[in-house]
A and B are shown apart, each in its own frame.
Chain A
Amino acid sequence: MSCRSVSHLIAAMISALVLIASLVGFNVYAQSLEMRYVNALAPLNLTQMENGDALQQAALQKPDILMVYGSSELTLLPTPYQADRFFAKYPTGFTVVDVASLGVLSVTLAQEFAALGPDLRGKKIVLSIMPGSFFINKKNFIENNPDHDFAMNFSPLRTYETIFSPYLSFGIKNEISSSMLIYRDTIRSDPFLAFALTTTSSTSIRNRILYYLIWPFGELQTGILRLQDHFEVVLYIWTHHLDPDVQKVSESIDWNTVHQNALAEQKQNTTDDPYGVENFMWWYFDRISLPEPAGSNNDLYRKNLTNSQEWTDFKILLIVLQQLGAKPLILSRPLNVPLWEVMGVTEDTQDIFYDRLHSVADPFKMPLMDFRQYDHDEYFSIDQGSHTSRDGWVYVDQILDAYYHGQLQP
């Protein structure tokens, strides 16, 4: 080998070493910066908190932050009673970070948790769900489009982390991949990811070998996405003047007074109808002739609830949490019984939701609050999907406070 060739080789090796050392150094620096600023970043609802991992991993290390994961039940109604706002100044010693947006499916949440991997072990977190998420698309009933919802909350980083996670069994990765492939329109934007998912969704020996062959490339891509996630957070901190020492105001909460205020506000915002539906949601019901005959929609309710893919994916989500050793509180919402009744669904048919929920969740022996005792309270929810009302939020806040302080009554 000529002297010149050797020079190229040595220079290339030094460059590679400098690159690797720089990236490792940046990773360490970014993590320390995230740990320092996470309390200040928590209330800002940053894209990186919703779609990245770095900030969530930092938040999970903080003992005064309670992470709450969910969907539109946490975000649809902006109100000071929402947990992240209610606990914003750490009144009882902690704050809440809502990791939620509209239309988050269980398979998306499963990826979120899978991406956090060992950071979840032994950690108290809250998994928020609501009955409305478990219905399939049906006009004039509960309407959502899972394809649209999946695309709206799709995170390539989390998908790569899930598929190539060393902390999950191949069996559960196989099930997640199968569920994700239902949404091919979104997946096919990344051909390598689509190939990885197809490979992982099969249990054949050929596909298992292919999985291990592409594993190094998957890990490499995951590493690149993780660094990009860190970079976005660091860039935000560099370009914004943030005080890492957040203001904390300790105070005792008079729950009765808070309830009275929230209920009064809720009633002021449901004046357009006699059913307790939030005014800005009433347009939806205004086109339906209510009340509908008793029991006239029982079959439709049963069909849309029991055939939903969400039940399968919810079970997958719980398996992921179990395999990662998390300590979640499953916080459901009550059915809006009076509203469903005027929509033509009798209460005994409505109860299929609770039966199904417990049949899926109870075997995991995770604490589950279904708030069933409030399902005749027309002011707990703002609609038939059980999006949380102002008064409903106060009940939720009380539970979160008790859960954080280890005072939750079974």
Chain B
Amino acid sequence: MWIKHLTNFFTAIYTNPTGRVVLLTLYYLAIIVGLIIMYGRGNFTTPKFVYQGF
């Protein structure tokens, strides 16, 4: 039942031009945030010193 209410709610917003822009913006931002979380961390570690048997 709540899924139907949610669908109706978003459909109502989406049919409104301003609401559509807001929803799409949130959607795009969610994708960007997801990508940053998944791939955003840098790797600043370097290989450890290895004794080279000299």
Interface residues, chain A, with chain B CB atoms under 8 Å away: 3-4, 7-8, 10-12, 14-15, 18-19, 47-48, 51-52, 102-103, 139, 143, 145, 148, 151-155, 157, 225, 228-229, 231-232
A19: chain B residues within 8 A (beta carbon): 29, 32
Q: Which residues of B contact A10 (CB under 8 A)?
A: 21, 24
Q: Which of A7, A52, A231 contacts B41 (CB 8 A)?
A: A231
B44 contacts A47, C-beta separation under 8 Å: yes
Closest to A103 in B: B49
- Residue A152 contacts which of B17, B28, B47 (CB distance < 8 angstroms)? B47
- B47: chain A residues at CB < 8 Å are 151-152
**How far, in angstroms, from A151 to B45 measured CA to CA in the complex?**
11
Closest to B20 in A: A7
Are B44 and A229 in touch, CB under 8 angstroms? Answer: yes
Residues of A within 8 A of B17 (CB): 3, 7
Q: In the complex, which residue of chain B has the Cβ closest to the Cβ of A23?
A: B36
B24 in contact with A148 (CB, 8 Å): no
- Smallest CB-CB separation from A47: which chain B residue? B44
Contact indicator B44/A155 (Cβ below 8 Å):
yes
Interface membership of B54, Cβ < 8 A: yes
Which residues of chain A are within 8 angstroms of B28 by Cβ–Cβ distance? 11-12, 15
Q: Is the CB of A7 within 8 A of B24?
A: yes
Q: Output the nearest chain A residue to B22 by Cβ-Cβ distance.
A: A11
In the bound complex, residues from chain B placing their C-beta under 8 Å from that of A8 are 24
Sample of 22 A–B contacts (CB below 8 Å): A3-B17, A4-B20, A7-B17, A7-B21, A7-B24, A11-B20, A11-B24, A11-B28, A18-B25, A47-B45, A51-B46, A102-B49, A143-B52, A145-B52, A148-B50, A148-B52, A151-B47, A152-B47, A157-B42, A228-B40, A228-B42, A232-B44
B51 nearest CB across to chain A (Å) = 10
- Most A CB atoms within 10 A — which of B21, B44, B50? B44
Q: Is the interface of B mostly helix, strand, loop or mixed?
A: loop
Given contacts A3-B17, A7-B24, 8 further A-B contacts (CB under 8 A): A4-B20, A15-B25, A51-B45, A103-B49, A139-B54, A143-B54, A157-B44, A225-B42
Interface centre among A11, A51, A153 (most CB of B within 10 A): A11
Q: Give the number of residues in B that approach A within 8 Å (Cβ atoms).
A: 22
Min CB distance, B24 to chain A, in Å? 3
B27 is an interface residue with CB less than 8 A from chain A:
yes
Establish whether residues B21 and A14, one from each chain, have CB atoms under 8 Å apart when the complex forms.
yes
Partner of B32, one of A15, A103, A155: A15
Which residues in A have their C-beta under 8 angstroms from that of B41? Answer: 228, 231-232
A374–chain B nearest beta-carbon distance, Å: 28
Q: Within the assembled complex, what's the spacing in Å between the Cα atoms of A8 and B54?
A: 63
Give which listed residue, B21, B23, B42, B52, contacts A232 with CB less than 8 A. B42
Q: Please state if B42 and A11 are interface contacts (CB–CB under 8 Å).
A: no
Name the CB-closest residue of B to A235.
B41
Give the complex CA separation of A19 and B45 in angstroms.
27
A-B pairs, top 3 by smallest CB distance, nearest first, are: A228-B42, A11-B24, A15-B28
